[in-house]
Structure 1
């Protein structure tokens, strides 16, 4: 009877718990893209190079790449409340330091502190959703998370463009701070402990190999994308080699351990593996496109920062609105009729994007971006939820940790490859020109590079589509009944 009472209490509090996570997740991702729009202004303000300013993004990604793999261990060792309050505290301290940052070094430190908060929060959010919602209702819950994850990066650039015109870049962080404080208050009042802590033993060697592995891979790819020396730079080659070797050793160690830090046996579940591949491809597509589209708009067809944010807003809004709808459709019909058509839409949009020229209209860009974002909303959450649904409950922390880590790695690889493909395209265009010093050639050259990036991400979309052809619905109701029967 007591157990039933506890269960009903838990159900009553599902909404505030979800709201706490949604607000904090939204702000974590909002400040990520909002700052991207401000990078060129910050270069002038702090008098730093583009390679240095890149570290505001690279440092953030690097911290996530190191922290997220350890999150499965943290979720098993500490309570939901402890981790939620810790993650919010890091985000609040990071935002406050960033808002007051007098120089570049302090701002970079603040970004790393913020990333620690986000790195703990994202896997915790996914794990909690899996625990508090039964499998047949998870699509709708994941759709709400999809709304936040997609909507935050969409409104980030528009809001940042407005804030920078009206006030200053500090306000990106002051506004974040207000919402984070609300999320923390809601969490302190309503957050409950969702899963039993098992206090696994700390395996320092696994933590070291994971940190070196994921850290070096993300660093290597990010460094290659900075353009100084590119892929041939000794630092890039050595860090990717060291990272891959450390990850191989890490994987072997996890498979041999009785209680691994990150249980790689999740890959025995085929729908989970397909989900990881599709989400990895989608993340590369989103981040590579979001990197080159603003550049094309600002340099290729010369529109302002604020206008760039407005042009990209409709697609983001469509994605945000569609995420809960696709979540409900997923609960009703399963993943196949969403993921495969979604990837076809993405491929078609990317093919048209690869035909952009300096004469392309803004309307054409908006329509293509809307189609791309509609496709992404049909793919990301259904593939992710279907994959996680196949896992037994004790593997949820490992499944969410691996899925989130792969997204960070996909982000680093996608942006690095996009930058180098774009740079190579620009250089090859300039070599063919009679008057490469002509200013009008700069926008032509950049557009040529951008076309190549869209051909690259279209190839990634086709690989994702091939994997998605094998996707099947996981029989959740029957599985849930069995686990309840246990």
Structure 2
């Protein structure tokens, strides 16, 4: 057992925040650069999209096995390895002479990110006592939400004024700084037990989660009737079912699904899965609306989304502190109401929507998300005994990847169907004005699904309670 009595948590949090800032910023830097990369390497949009699809796929495949990795390697080994891989991937991407090399660099970056996400949450759950975890998770939320929010804006500035390579040159010093800080201050806070590794489970996990994430990602791009989509989702679903069945039989599972025996954790997992389908999808829909209906540039759309992202980041530590004081219900229920109301207002958007109204509604959505995300995750993880924390964080992070893929595919399908239906009744379906109106109609239809999902999440939120964390009986282990 690691002695946490005299551990200085501040330097460890600083190292984690620097690392997460680098990884989170990188996730949204590429969006505005895809057209430029297509020109630079002479590739199609479908090929260029692999820079985003492969990244999501690798993270989705790797996160489920991080629970067992954290039991085989120390905290320092995991963090430094993750950041080193991320650094190497960034350097390769920056100097890549052809598209294939750039894709390899992005995949290496994704490996580092896939390890870092659940590792960071698990370290926080380990080093902080239950009554302080909300504030700590809130600080993490500040970084996780703020960095992606400024990513599109920074990307737009760089692509407009410099080479796309500066998207990676910019990240290199931050990644190197994170490695130096981690090497200097990070302590080992995990118990290395080296359980037996079931490679069959890892294989099933890779095929299962990878197939589902890939299949749904391609469904949004190609449609649901394409054989590639049908077979990958089917194979993923079968492998995932076998993975779950095997985990329930194993004495030392790769992902311990016994975490779902704890009602609050199970409730939070379902609530976040439902809500995040809408959250990730709105991040795709809004730029499409602004650029396709309001005819804004990528940089302009990034600027409009920036205030909401900043407010969301600033709200994260506040909601964390309030969670420590009042528990989850006081935050989660109002947050879900605000999120649902914002999504309803999204269904009213059309070609006459003003910039001010769009910014205000997006800010409201981000406030609602901030009141739900970290408090709900902390409430769920708080109910797990310490030995299940690596598995709980792996489960929640895996569900985020899967919900993002499913939600995006669902929204894009509904949007496309709605646009086609509108244009089928238009007098001039080739008119740019009618195409824009059709896109707005399709996006409105998609956001109605978001309203329904938010209402389902609200009903789940009503069941949320603040239980007593198991570690309270070992409270002396956190004593200063």
Whether TM-score is above 0.5 comes out as: yes
C-alpha separation between the residues in 2 aligned to 1:82 and 1:234? 42
Is 1:271 the counterpart of 2:264? The answer is yes
Residues 485 and 171 of structure 1, relative CA distance in 2, 3 Å threshold:
closer
Q: Which residue of the partner structure matches residue 125 of structure 1?
A: 120
Secondary structure at the residue paired with 2:384? Answer: coil
CA RMSD of aligned residues (A): 1.4
Aligned residues: 476
Aligned twin of 1:143:
138
Larger displacement relative to structure 2 (333-342 or 41-50): 41-50
Q: Deviations over 1:111-142 (max 9, x none)?
A: 11100000011111000000000000000000
Instruction: Say which SS state the counterpart of residue 130 (structure 1) adopts.
Output: helix
CA offset digits 1:182-239 (Å, max 9, x no partner): 110000111111111001112111111111110111111011011x2x1111111111
Unmatched 5+ stretches in structure 2: none
- Shift of the alpha carbon at 1:445? 1.7
Alpha carbons 2:36, 2:159 under 8 Å: kept: no
Contact preservation (8 Å) 2:385, 2:471? no
SS of the residue aligned with 1:355? coil
Q: 334, 354, 361: which one pairs with 1:368?
A: 361
- Alpha-carbon distance, 1:485 to partner: 6.9
Aligned to 1:398: 391
> Would the aligned equivalents of 2:32 and 2:159 in 1 still touch at CA under 8 Å?
no
Q: 1:94 aligns with which of 71, 77, 89?
A: 89
1:278/1:380 contact within 8 Å kept: no
User: 1:155 maps to which residue?
Assistant: 150
Q: Give the structure-1-normalised TM-score.
A: 0.96
From 464, 476, 480, the equivalent of 1:471 is: 464
Distance 1:426 1:103, change over 3 A: farther
Select which of 409, 412, 416 maps to 1:419: 412
1:314 counterpart = 2:307: yes
- Unaligned 5+ residue runs, structure 1? none
With the length of structure 2 as denominator, give the TM-score of the two structures: 0.97
State how 1:455-470 maps to structure 2 within 5 Å: 455-470=448-463
Q: Does 1:483 align with 2:474?
A: yes
Match 2:162 to one of 159, 167, 170: 167
Residue aligning to 1:66: 61
Match of 2:346 among 344, 350, 353: 353
2:435 aligns to what? Answer: 442
Aligned to 2:184: 189
Residue of structure 2 in register with 1:20 after alignment? 15
8 Å contact from structure 1 (residues 58, 222) kept in 2: yes
How far the C-alpha of 1:322 sits from its partner, in A, is 0.4
Task: Specify the alignment match of 1:288 in structure 2.
Answer: 281
Q: What residue number does 1:217 align with?
A: 212
The answer to whether residue 262 in structure 2 is matched with residue 257 in structure 1 is no
